[in-house]
Amino acid sequence: MTTKTHTPQNTQHTYTYTHHPPSPQENRNKPKPTILFLHGFPSTSYDWRHQITYLSSLGYGVIAPDLLGYGGTSKPTDLAAYKTKSMAAEIITILDAEEIEKVHAVGHDTGCTLLSRLADYFPERLLSCVFLDVPYMRPGERFDLDIVNKVTRDILGFERFGYVGFFAGEGSGVLLDRFADSFFTLFYPHSPSLWKSHLCPAGAIEKWLLSDRRAPLAPYITEEEFKTHQKLLVGNHDSALNWYRALVSNINLEDEEEAQITPSLSMPALLICPKKLELEMPGLEEGMRAVCVGDLVIKRVSTEGHWVQLEAREEVNQILGEFFERVRV
């Protein structure tokens, strides 16, 4: 396993990424493909460690970058740098630098937004798409947080994405750094139901942080993992939050309208979700079926939390391995 850096041409951004080339395989004419991992918020490539170990042991290659604003990768302050079209193109340059033509691509959380645009702008580079907990995000749709909050109140009975307004606001990164331990226990809680009261409603996360509240941590989080995560994220929350500011500011809308993208996935796709809970918006699976032109597999793991690659690591690893084996290369 090697940590590398890459600076795409015509940018001042440098990406840090983990690279493990495919292992030679007996009775195979060519090595197994490479898998590209795209993390979400508040994460880094570190969150894929269980999948990297498992899939590389099966002979797959792995590329897991720290995405823009995270970890060892550049953290530009210009919001325009976080356009998904340009970030997708920058990820492609990493594949080009490693002379990798096509990959299986796996996203989680906001990484699924970037994965969606990779599938839209560079479908010829993807053997398959895997979405963890968050589905394909349709292009060309204006994001209005007030409307989203109203719709979720009407459907679920509570605001589901009220925290987005805080994340996109000025000074939010400073507050997350200041109350980093409190934030971590809220985002990786023992009980996912905590989010209904203390994350989802508008204004709830601010109250949680300013009270410096703590919740029992999820059992899959070890002390080492906690310390490593905080070392990677504390001081860097603000740059990572630019992904949310880009969403609320609709900076991708012009690119997506100009490209006239048809919402569709032409390659095989896999959606992995936790158990159905009251936090899940209706129509999740149906929305994926509506955009998949190629084969679609939907799997649910036995756990309830958002961080399926951590909490249900063995289940997720097995699902991924079986899915990649069935996709013909």
Q: Which domains are present in the chain?
A: 2-142+253-326 (3.40.50.1820), 145-248 (no CATH)
Query: What is the mean predicted confidence (pLDDT) over 281-291?
Result: 93
Select from 82, 79, 81, 88 the least CA-distant residue to 120.
Answer: 88
Query: What is the mean predicted confidence (pLDDT) over 45-69?
Result: 97
- pLDDT grade, residue 294 (50/70/90)? confident
Query: What is the mean predicted confidence (pLDDT) over 166-183?
Result: 97
Check residue 135 and give its pLDDT: 96
Check residue 27 and give its pLDDT: 64
Check residue 225 and give its pLDDT: 93
Indicate whether 101 pLDDT > 80: yes
Query: What is the mean predicted confidence (pLDDT) over 65-91?
Result: 97
Indicate whether 62 pLDDT > 90: yes
Could you report the per-residue pLDDT of 190-219, keeping only the tens digit for each? 999 999 999 999 999 999 999 999 999 999
Check residue 24 and give its pLDDT: 81
Check residue 26 and give its pLDDT: 64
Give, in order, the Cα–Cα distances in Å from 215 to each of 148, 181, 194, 199: 27, 10, 9, 13
Query: What is the mean predicted confidence (pLDDT) over 61-71?
Result: 97
Give, in order, the Cα–Cα distances in Å from 284 to each of 60, 267, 273, 289: 30, 19, 10, 9
Indicate whether 68 pLDDT > 90: yes
- pLDDT grade, residue 277 (50/70/90)? confident
Of all residues in the chain, what percent carry a pLDDT higher than 70?
98
Indicate whether 177 pLDDT > 70: yes
Please give the mean pLDDT across all residues of the chain.
Answer: 95
Indicate whether 28 pLDDT > 80: no
Buried b (16+ CB within 10 A) or exposed e, 106-119: bbbbbbbbbbbbbb
Tally of CB atoms within 10 A around 247? 21
pTM (whole model) above 0.75:
yes
Query: What is the mean predicted confidence (pLDDT) over 147-153?
Result: 95
Query: What is the mean predicted confidence (pLDDT) over 105-116?
Result: 98
- pLDDT grade, residue 149 (50/70/90)? very high
